Structure 1
């Protein structure tokens, strides 16, 4: 919502004024902050999908019987990729970031249409 409201405020103020650039830098900071969380959440998910392959490619053939049993349990646990959630509501990923931007644009268009309607 903050992104959409800030976009709308940018249409109301005088273009290229100090207030405009202040809103622009605020908008950019919000987007970068959200993107960083979503990007690294996506990286964790992508890298965690490779854990079973790395375990399989290790030198497990010559390992002890106990280590092989632990490896089987470990590989069964790693079948699902790791995901970072935000308040257990949604998972952080690039797809989530795109959804956030689409929602922000929807908020902006709604506010803009309501302000231009007479």
Structure 2
């Protein structure tokens, strides 16, 4: 579902820019298009923002468990073993992925914008020729 939403936001961004550049008849038309673009991009940005927060927080879990192991020298072996298993699992960060193709993060949000803008410039160049 997130992959479809990322793709649709990218396509909508590209075509909305193209329509705005093609038929910008006035400030009112540009304002409508801009408000729609801001809304669509904000929806994708929320997913990417919290996805990036999840990645950064899940990377901190292994370091926190390591700090706990070193301060718990007199704890039972089962507790230390459980913390060791937690550290092994936490070495790979949790991620929200879009269809398993890419993880949603701030970098992926920027890359969706870059690809969409690149397609827009290609469309605009074809229109000018």
Is the shorter-chain TM-score for this pair beyond 0.5, marking a shared fold? yes
Q: How does 1:94-109 map to 2 (within 5 A)?
A: 94-109=106-121
Which protein has the bigger helix share?
Answer: 2
Give the structure 2 partner of residue 21 of structure 1: 31
Deviation at 1:13, TM superposition (A): 2.8
- Residue pairs, 1:1-118, within 5 angstroms: 1-11=11-21, 12-17=23-28, 19-58=29-68, 59-117=71-129
RMSD after superposition? 1.4
TM-superposed CA distance for 1:107, in Å, is 1.4
- Tell me the number of residue pairs that the alignment of Structure 1 and Structure 2 aligns: 116
Gaps spanning 5+ residues in structure 1: where?
none
CA distance, structure 1, for counterparts of residue 73 and residue 14 of structure 2: 56
TM-score (structure 2 length as normaliser): 0.82
Report the 3-state secondary structure (helix = DSSP H, G, I; strand = E; otherwise coil) of the residue aligned with 1:113.
helix
Q: 1: distance between equivalents of 2:101 and 2:80?
A: 37
